[in-house]
Chain A
Amino acid sequence: MNNKKVVVRMLAVIAALAAITVLQMCKPQAPTSVSGTDAAIKAYVPPGKYDEFYNLVSGGFSGQMSVYGLPSGRLFRVIPVFSEDPTTGYGYSEETKAMLNTSHGYVPWDDLHHPAISTTNGEHDGRWVFGNANNTPRVARIDLKTFRTAEIIELPNSGGNHSSPFITENTEYVVAGTRFSVPVGDKTDVPISTFKENFKGYISFISVDPKDGKMNIAFQLKTPGVSFDLSRAGKGPSHGWFFFSCYNTEQAYTLLEVNASQKDKDFIMAVNWKKAEEYMAAGKGEKAKVRYARNRYDETTHTATSEILTDVLQLDPAQLKDIIYFIPCPKSPHGCDTDPTGEYIIGSGKLAALIPVFSFTKIQQAIANKEFEGEFAGIPVIKYEAALHGEVKKPGLGPLHTEFDDKGNAYTSFFVSSEIVKWNVETLEVLDRVPTYYSVGHLCVPGGPTRKPHGQYVIAYNKITKDRYLPTGPELTQSAQIYDITGDKMKLILDFPTIGEPHYAEAIPASMIMPQSVKIFKLEENNHPYVAKGEGQAKIERKGNQVHVSMTAIRSHLTPDNIEGIKLGDEVYFHITNLEQDWDVPHGFAVKGANNAEILIMPGETQTLKWKPLSTGVFPFYCTDFCSALHQEMQGYIRVSPAGSPVPLKYSTGKVDDTATGAGQ
């Protein structure tokens, strides 16, 4: 060994020791700041491990709901709800078209803003998640066993279903308020300038059957023509009440940017829904003629049905004085959130630089003592100070939404100043603030709107990302950001891009959902009228120009896979039954020239794709969902002949006419 090598080795050892010493020296530093490593560990879920929470995130203008894991931010599934989805065939298959039916006919798109997970005793129960359609007012119920849309109910007399869906402690009701007041009833063709006279707001109380979740509009409250923005039900002591934020109490009908921001205060509307129930039981509800659709998906026929309903019961709080009270709230309140104890109601004036916190006890006292400052459209207005617990002073600019942890703290998002502010609900003291990137809308704490928050994370759903990710031209992704809230200071641990606009989200422990997740649909329970429960039942029936193909799919062939005798002018219905009874083996189906979409068929399920050929020839079809090593062999042909052609209807799989070539032998 020469000297030079010895020197090199010694130097290397010294350098390594120096490096270790220096690293150890700086290790305990900066306890309050987040190092990249700390953050990564907090958000890291190793391959093969599960996330702690399901995060059900609305897709905003995508109309769908997405399912992420927390804290990893991994996307698991996008559930089609209000928008058709050519990937799964939702809205394209014959079975799902009825889900998007409305009193305006088939509506292929909507704007889903707020998920709401069902609760029992004010805590998440993991049965269903509800979502709202903003544009053509509807509420959807998604089954958390299948992660599929089970029911959609339309809301009559609503102009835009933003203040929705919000649920009572035991999911007795899902409540939906209208953003746009509109003229209703017999007098709808009126000048827009007659807003004050003719426009009304409506709040719909949708009852939910505790057994199967089926929805029904129990009653509507007729309210003054204002805009309802958001809402929360009371809980604990305030169970039996609902609180809605209202803006445009100016009743402007043009340039709301200026005209709906005139007053320094709008209202929180407190609704005593138990009292409304009493009036309903006493027969005070008036029947109104309306038209609305209700669509339900049956998991045994694998088919949705739509019905049009024609009446609804309404209560008029201007007559029945003790249902509704207004509370002044600075200005254009957006979020309206009740804390886990049910005592405090937080109004967030989105153009204000303070947060008023109202006390349920004081509201009750003010009502008992008639501490009113007057009336608005026949409804008593409680004095601001009489209802106020206190104000959070100078918290930031543009408060929007508040969620809560399990330690008495609130987390409020600020759109304009782009930050989350943590404050104490009792003392109203600001405890911490962190920036978001950028312009946060809603927040989510797992269980945050319930009586039992899991105060581990707060997630910010941002409207703007600008320079946060690699740019993709003018259209950029929106984002979610996860902050660890277990310590005194909020710490950003991860941000991730989302589908659509991540408007609002709820999160629920994985342990409440995972065990109930459906793996397959049982073939023996399949009651689809065109099911083929085995290859022996595969068949083709002609009914005039309609040809119904009952086809089966199993690894790795379709039965039948040769079809002849289709004539130009025929409508072919491919009813595909997936014969698999094995987890995570869907099959897909597509046929050349189809003017609609593909369909995905889950194990044990039947779905139908309609196909109308426009030319003669032989058309290939195949399985689109990679199912096995012979997925690429899972295919077939359908022959289309001229109208009036003598080619007989015939179908087969594995039958070879031309034995000379040996093909198929």
Chain B
Amino acid sequence: MRTTLFVLIWLALASCGQPKIETAASVADLPAAGGQASVQDDESQQDVVKIAANSAAHTTLVAALKAAEYVDALSNAGPFTVFAPTNAAFDKLPEGTLETLTSPENKDQLRTILEYHVYVGVITESMIQDGMTINMVSLDNATLGKKDGKITINGAEVAGSARGSNGIVYIIDTVLLPPEKK
């Protein structure tokens, strides 16, 4: 009897509080914002965010994408070309820079920097010509280089690339900073 009563009250309690919003279970440790990043799908090719999330060398970038709330955006249809700085690249920034950028009040600044790493459209290696400029999501230009098969962006070396379902990821050893506004 006591058990029955307890269960009834517990049910009543459980039924109030925050209304439940149904979301699909989230993938790995990506945020369960209910956006496309949380779609459960192990069958399809990985998207550009999952490529970064599954790379031990890109934990800082993924943390920055989360802080800027860009994970869902880059999980969408795209197509994207993402220049993905490694943890070592972020380590090269002056001390304290990353902490400053990832604090909530600097979200817009962080977004601008991340937007300077994303181009909407897929530029494969073969499309790159030395000296080609591309206009990034931040609306700033970046310059691609290609000499003896080595690809660079603003002089930073591309260490490798990975093709994702919604774009291409180029791994770079330097964080790209948008040019100063005139």
Q: How far is the CA of A14 from the CA of B40 in the complex (A)?
A: 44
Q: B36 to A438, Cβ gap below 8 A?
A: yes
* Contacting residues of chain A (314-338) with chain B, CB-CB under 8 angstroms: 330-331
* Among listed B4-12, B54-62, B98-106, B152-160, interface-contacting one: B4-12
* Contacting residues of chain B (108-165) with chain A, CB-CB under 8 angstroms: 108, 111, 115, 120-123, 127, 133-135, 137-139, 141
For B18, the closest partner residue in chain A by CB is: A30
Q: How far is the CA of A253 from the CA of B1 in the complex (A)?
A: 79
Q: B19 to A352, Cβ gap below 8 A?
A: no
Contact (A26, B120) CB under 8 Å given A418-B36, A418-B73: no
Which residues on A sit within 8 Å (CB–CB) of B16? 22-23, 25-27, 29
Contact (A19, B78) CB under 8 Å given A418-B35, A464-B36: no
**Number of B residues, CB within 8 Å of A:** 44
* Contacting residues of chain A (482-536) with chain B, CB-CB under 8 angstroms: none
Q: B135 to A466, Cβ gap below 8 A?
A: no
Which residues on A sit within 8 Å (CB–CB) of B73? 397, 416-418
Label chain B's interface by main secondary structure.
Answer: loop
Q: B36 to A416, Cβ gap below 8 A?
A: no
Which residues on A sit within 8 Å (CB–CB) of B17? 26, 29
Q: B5 to A435, Cβ gap below 8 A?
A: no
Contact (A7, B111) CB under 8 Å given A416-B76, A438-B76: no
Q: How far is the CA of A18 from the CA of B16 in the complex (A)?
A: 13
Q: A353 to B137, Cβ gap below 8 A?
A: yes
Q: How far is the CA of A126 from the CA of B120 in the complex (A)?
A: 40
For A27, the closest partner residue in chain B by CB is: B16
**Number of A residues, CB within 8 Å of B:** 49
Which residues on B sit within 8 Å (CB–CB) of A463? 77
Q: A435 to B72, Cβ gap below 8 A?
A: yes
Most buried by A among B12, B17, B122, B123: B12
Q: How far is the CA of A350 from the CA of B78 in the complex (A)?
A: 12
Which residues on A sit within 8 Å (CB–CB) of B36? 418, 438-439, 464, 466
Q: A19 to B141, Cβ gap below 8 A?
A: no
Q: B9 to A467, Cβ gap below 8 A?
A: no
* Contacting residues of chain A (4-20) with chain B, CB-CB under 8 angstroms: 7-8, 11, 14-16, 18-19
Contact (A352, B34) CB under 8 Å given A435-B72, A463-B77: no
Q: How far is the CA of A309 from the CA of B163 in the complex (A)?
A: 51
Number of A-B contacts (CB under 8 A): 120
Contact with A along B45-86 (1 / 0, CB 8 A): 000000000000000000000000010110011110000000
Which residues on B sit within 8 Å (CB–CB) of A29? 16-17
Q: How far is the CA of A205 from the CA of B121 in the complex (A)?
A: 34
Minimal beta-carbon separation of A229 from chain B (angstroms): 15
Which residues on B sit within 8 Å (CB–CB) of A418? 35-36, 72-73, 76
Q: B138 to A19, Cβ gap below 8 A?
A: no
Q: A466 to B19, Cβ gap below 8 A?
A: no
For B78, the closest partner residue in chain A by CB is: A416
B24 within 8 A of A: yes
Which residues on B sit within 8 Å (CB–CB) of A467? 24, 39-41
Minimal beta-carbon separation of A398 from chain B (angstroms): 7
Q: A8 to B1, Cβ gap below 8 A?
A: yes
B88 within 8 A of A: no
Q: A466 to B39, Cβ gap below 8 A?
A: yes
Q: B9 to A15, Cβ gap below 8 A?
A: yes
Q: A353 to B76, Cβ gap below 8 A?
A: no
Contact with B along A228-265 (1 / 0, CB 8 A): 00000000000000000000000000010110011110
Most buried by A among B13, B20, B41, B76: B76
Which residues on A sit within 8 Å (CB–CB) of B13? 22
* Among listed A31-39, A57-65, A158-166, interface-contacting one: A31-39
Which residues on A sit within 8 Å (CB–CB) of B177? none
A394 within 8 A of B: yes
Of the candidates B5, B19, B41, the one whose C-beta lies within 8 Å of that of A30 is B19
Q: How far is the CA of A439 from the CA of B35 in the complex (A)?
A: 10
B93 within 8 A of A: no
A354 within 8 A of B: yes
Contact (A394, B111) CB under 8 Å given A257-B79, A264-B135: yes
Considering the complex of A and B, which 4 residue pairs feature the smallest CB-CB distances, nearest first? Answer: A26-B16, A19-B12, A15-B8, A35-B19
Of the A-B pairs whose beta carbons lie under 8 Å apart in the complex, a sample of 22, sorted by A's number, is: A11-B5, A15-B4, A19-B9, A19-B11, A26-B16, A36-B19, A257-B122, A258-B121, A258-B134, A261-B135, A264-B135, A331-B139, A351-B121, A352-B137, A352-B139, A394-B111, A397-B137, A398-B120, A416-B76, A464-B77, A466-B39, A467-B41
Question: Known contacts A33-B19, A258-B127, A467-B39; can you find 12 more A-B pairs with CB under 8 A?
Answer: A18-B8, A27-B16, A257-B121, A264-B139, A351-B135, A397-B115, A397-B137, A415-B76, A416-B120, A435-B34, A435-B35, A437-B35
